[in-house]
């Protein structure tokens, strides 16, 4: 009898669980995802066959459109042997007369797992409460856990460690990326400095929750309005768009407020000489990041984007297999 060396015979810590927030994950669960991701990425590069999700179906609910989330989850399911169903607002009755509770109960009878990309985090939590199958948060206005897991994996790939590093997030400290990075960095013992205009500094509740993990894991959280204070000695510079989906009416106001919160060569020079630059994409070149930095030697942005696929595969395999 041949034994596949890639198969992990131990029971996954995440099997059958929801993934709604990085704050809910233990250090061991994050480590399990990153370790599985490394294995699956290696297998992918070698062309190894690994299809633990044959006969499994993932429903993908999209209230918000996406390039990376849709393609990475759909390809991930296909590569793992399963099938993914794309469900937009036009395809299902959610939000058009049918309650979230009823939708959760019905889809639980058809599917093995649901990934949802939505506006309201509370709606996703309600879906998880009434579903009998695992729910994966593909993005809400509050958090983007799958993206930050891919970010942590990318940092570990490039820096060979997570604990003891410093990440500087420059931009909107109240958005879902800032929230998830605060939770994620605190969990893995990484210092994080958030530079935002005063009215856009992170919410107190998020900082308080992240601070508990930071204290336990020996990391530090810094909030500042000074971009160069945040960037000083940073191992990772991170940014996101100034105006997220659903905030389009604030675009011109945000361009004025965030005008000084751009990752450019001057900011890069304040970071560690071996710093890497990250962006969750899509990017507005010339706004939150300059063209030369995005295309420069310090940028790992497209490696980061690729790693969304490998992280989604790890999450799906651990939760569903």
**Known catalytic membership, residue 49:** no
Q: Could you list the residue range(s) of the whole structural domain that residue 202 is in?
A: 147-304
| 40 plus 157 within the same structural domain | no
| 83 plus 126 within the same structural domain | yes
| 300 plus 206 within the same structural domain | yes
In a domain, 90, yes or no: yes
| 300 plus 205 within the same structural domain | yes
| 265 plus 249 within the same structural domain | yes
Number of domains in the chain: 2
In a domain, 6, yes or no: no
Q: Averaged over 201-227, what is the pLDDT?
A: 98
In a domain, 19, yes or no: no
The two structure tokens encoding residue 296: 């420069």
Q: At 5, is the pLDDT very low, low, confident or very high (cuts 50, 70, 90)?
A: very low
| 36 plus 131 within the same structural domain | yes
| 151 plus 67 within the same structural domain | no
In a domain, 172, yes or no: yes
pLDDT in tens, 120-131: 999 999 999 999
* Annotated binding-site residue numbers: 66-69, 93, 117, 144-147, 176, 240, 244-245, 280-281, 308
Q: At 89, is the pLDDT very low, low, confident or very high (cuts 50, 70, 90)?
A: confident
Please count the other Cβ atoms lying within 10 Å of the Cβ belonging to residue 294: 20
| 124 plus 166 within the same structural domain | no
**Known catalytic membership, residue 280:** yes
**Which pLDDT value is given to residue 65?**
87
| 296 plus 196 within the same structural domain | yes
Q: Averaged over 176-188, what is the pLDDT?
A: 98
The catalytic residue among 70, 254, 279, 308 is 308
| 57 plus 157 within the same structural domain | no
In a domain, 40, yes or no: yes
| 45 plus 129 within the same structural domain | yes
| 200 plus 248 within the same structural domain | yes
The catalytic residue among 70, 141, 147, 310 is 147
In a domain, 12, yes or no: no
Q: Phi/psi class of residue 157: alpha, beta or left (left: φ > 0; alpha: ψ in -120 to 50)?
A: alpha
In a domain, 98, yes or no: yes
Q: At 237, is the pLDDT very low, low, confident or very high (cuts 50, 70, 90)?
A: very high
pLDDT in tens, 277-303: 999 999 999 999 999 999 999 999 999
In a domain, 128, yes or no: yes
**Known catalytic membership, residue 240:** yes
pLDDT in tens, 146-168: 999 999 999 999 999 999 999 99
In CATH, what number is assigned to the domain containing residue 118?
3.40.50.1370
pLDDT in tens, 53-82: 999 999 999 999 899 999 999 999 999 999
Q: Averaged over 198-211, what is the pLDDT?
A: 97
**Known catalytic membership, residue 308:** yes
* Annotated binding-site residue numbers for carbamoyl phosphate: 66-69, 93, 117, 144-147, 280-281, 308
């Amino acid at each position: 009898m041949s034994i596949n060396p890639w198969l992990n015979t131990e029971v996954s810590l995440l099997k059958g669980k929801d993934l709604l927030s990085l704050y809910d994950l233990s250090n061991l669960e994050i480590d399990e995802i990153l370790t599985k991701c490394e294995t699956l990425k290696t297998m992918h590069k070698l062309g190894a066959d690994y299809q633990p999700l044959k006969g499994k179906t993932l429903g993908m609910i999209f209230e918000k459109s996406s390039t990376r989330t849709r393609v990475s989850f759909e390809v991930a399911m296909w590569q793992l042997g399963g099938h993914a169903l794309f469900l937009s607002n036009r395809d299902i009755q959610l939000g058009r007369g049918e309650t979230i509770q009823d939708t959760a109960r019905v889809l639980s009878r058809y599917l093995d797992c649901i990934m949802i990309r939505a506006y309201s985090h509370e709606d996703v939590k309600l879906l998880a409460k009434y579903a009998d199958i695992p729910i994966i948060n593909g993005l809400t206005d509050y958090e983007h856990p799958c993206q930050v897991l891919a970010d942590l994996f990318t940092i570990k790939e490039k820096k060979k460690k997570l604990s003891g590093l410093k990440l500087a997030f420059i931009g909107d400290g109240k958005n879902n990326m800032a929230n998830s990075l605060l939770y994620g960095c605190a969990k893995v013992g990484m210092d994080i400095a958030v530079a935002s205009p005063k009215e856009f500094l992170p919410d107190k509740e998020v900082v308080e929750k992240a601070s508990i993990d930071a204290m336990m894991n020996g990391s530090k959280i810094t909030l500042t309005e000074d971009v160069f204070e945040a960037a000083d000695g940073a191992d990772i510079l991170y940014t996101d768009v100034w105006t997220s989906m659903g905030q389009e009416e604030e675009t011109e106001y945000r361009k004025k407020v965030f005008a000084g919160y751009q990752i450019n060569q001057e900011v890069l020079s304040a970071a560690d000489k071996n710093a890497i630059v990250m962006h969750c994409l899509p990017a507005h070149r010339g706004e939150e990041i300059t063209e030369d930095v995005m295309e420069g030697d310090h940028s790992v942005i497209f490696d980061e984007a690729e790693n969304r696929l490998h992280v989604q595969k790890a999450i799906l395999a651990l939760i569903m297999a």
